[in-house]
Amino acid sequence: MHENAVFRDLVSILGEAHVARNVPMKAYTSIRTGGPARFFAEPDTIEKVLELLQYLRDKSITHYIMGNGTNLLFPDSGYDGVVIRIGNKISRITLEGNQITAQAGASLAAVSARAMEASLEGLEFASGIPGTIGGAVTMNAGAYGGEMSQVVKETLCVDEQGKLLRLKDQEHGFGYRKSRIQTDALVVLETTMVLRPGEQMEIRNRMADFNSRRREKQPLNLPSAGSVFKRPEGFYAGQLIQECGLKGHTIGGAQVSDKHCGFIVNLGNATSQDVLDLIKLVRKTVYEKTGVLLEPEVRIIGGDL
């Protein structure tokens, strides 16, 4: 199908203000690398997400759905398809008793802050995680002993055929940094979480403590994609990497952080290939020296290790 025709169709579905061409993904990923997406779409309602996905399926057009881009690595050559960003345009948060429902594009920071304001506890761990609810539920994000599986009750998703599903409780299939949403290629539209009544000041203090610890230990002053590797059973990825002598190791503009070895940071001019080469080097070195094969937590788009 001709590129101009696709663009016209996308504009007719979403409106001219919500579609662009040749958008550099480095502007939309936290590690600040990645070439241009052929088309970049930001729907502003769930209904438009569904209509857009139906169109892309009907036309067999390659697409990728992202949130805040906090754990994504797009190739330097770009993405030859449609990148759909579900972000702050689809981010409504509603409260009902001790339940909070958030659309997929709502930030974890905003949702946890809303919970705190309502004196509801259980989401403090999420206040400093720089992602969206959709991404967090998909990968069962967690920190400081908490994770999404502890609070998520029900999630509205759409499958690859366009069918709407409501996953409840165990139907989410949560595991460590994974869920049925991930394995079945579902797309989160909104999720409902059940929290507990608590003391607002205690909740606020826990959030402040977690965020202080995060600032102290993580390289938040430089672009990164968060924790590069999942925690291997019985070990800590950052500790293994440090023990293998890779702290501060650099390839091009990418560096194993000298503040926390579980992070790869962009020193200013890194390419995605620099980051990918460094990931490969770290995995190879750690495996050769310890026998532990690190599994990436970062999503590598259009490629693999």
DSSP string for residues in 10-79: HHHHH-GGGEEEEEEGGGTSTT----EEEEEE--SSHHHHHHHHHHHHHTT--EEEESS-TTEE--TT-E
Closest CA to 267 of 31, 24, 26, 29: 31
Asked if residue 209 is part of any domain, the answer here is no
> 216 in helix, strand or coil?
helix
pLDDT tens-digit map of 121-176: 999 999 988 899 999 999 999 988 999 999 999 999 999 999 999 999 999 999 99
pLDDT tens-digit map of 249-289: 999 999 999 999 999 999 999 999 999 999 999 999 999 99
Q: Which two tokens stand for residue 75?
A: 């190739």
Rounded CA separation 193/106 (Å): 13
- Residues spanned by the domain of 18: 3-85
pTM of the model: 0.92
From residue 28, alpha-carbon distances to 39, 116, 197, 220 in Å are 13, 28, 36, 17
**Domain harbouring 226, CATH code:** 3.90.78.10
Cα-trace Rg, the chain:
20
Same domain, 7 and 61: yes
Same domain, 249 and 275: yes
CB-CB contact of 30 with 265 (8 Å): no
> In sequence order, what are the residues at sequence separation of 6 or more whose Cβ sits closer than 8 angstroms to the Cβ of residue 261?
237, 238, 239, 241, 242, 246, 247
Give residue 199's pLDDT: 97
CB-CB contact of 182 with 136 (8 Å): no
Into how many domains does the chain fold?
Answer: 3
Asked if residue 64 is part of any domain, the answer here is yes
Asked if residue 214 is part of any domain, the answer here is no
pLDDT tens-digit map of 202-234: 999 999 999 999 899 999 899 999 999 999 999
Where in the sequence numbering do the catalytic residues fall? 177, 227, 297
Look at residues 36, 68, 85 and tell me which one is the last residue of a structural domain.
85
Asked if residue 161 is part of any domain, the answer here is yes
Strands 254-256 and 250-251: antiparallel
Sign of torsion, CA 126 131 232 291?
Answer: negative
Look at residues 85, 113, 139 and tell me which one is the last residue of a structural domain.
85
Look at residues 149, 174, 203 and tell me which one is the last residue of a structural domain.
203
Query: For residue 293, what is the enclosing H or E element?
Result: none
Q: Is the pLDDT of residue 1 over 80?
A: no
